[in-house]
């Protein structure tokens, strides 16, 4: 399984080149739920803190300023500790 890719606080130029500001926004309150990625997702966290626990893997803490790519085919649990707001792109 491809690991979760994380870039902490990417520079503004990279975010602009990816056109992240034009991506849809997803928000979610404090909660915990299972998730399966049927396609790759790239997202940029604007707010919040979440611990993503891949099935059979180590927990990963993500939050504001993180640019993250989740691999297609990954099953995990999302544990949102602080309400999340993120831009996202599937595929």
Q: Write the pLDDT tens digit of every residue in 1-58.
A: 678 999 999 999 999 999 999 999 999 999 999 999 999 999 999 999 999 999 999 9
**CA–CA dist 81, 13 (Å, integer):** 29
φ and ψ at 44, to 5 degrees? -130, 120
* Number of domains within the chain: 1
CB within 8 Å of 64: residues ≥ 6 apart: 45, 46, 47, 48, 49
CATH of the domain at 54: 2.60.120.10
């Amino acid at each position: 399984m491809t690991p979760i890719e994380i870039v902490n606080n990417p520079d503004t130029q990279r975010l602009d080149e990816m056109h992240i500001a034009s991506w849809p926004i997803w928000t979610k309150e404090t909660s915990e739920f299972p998730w399966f990625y049927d396609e790759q997702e790239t997202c940029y966290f604007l707010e919040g803190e979440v611990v993503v626990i891949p099935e059979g893997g180590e927990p990963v803490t993500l939050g504001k300023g993180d640019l993250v790519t989740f691999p297609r085919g990954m099953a995990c649990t999302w544990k949102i500790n602080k309400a999340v707001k993120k831009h996202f792109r599937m595929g």
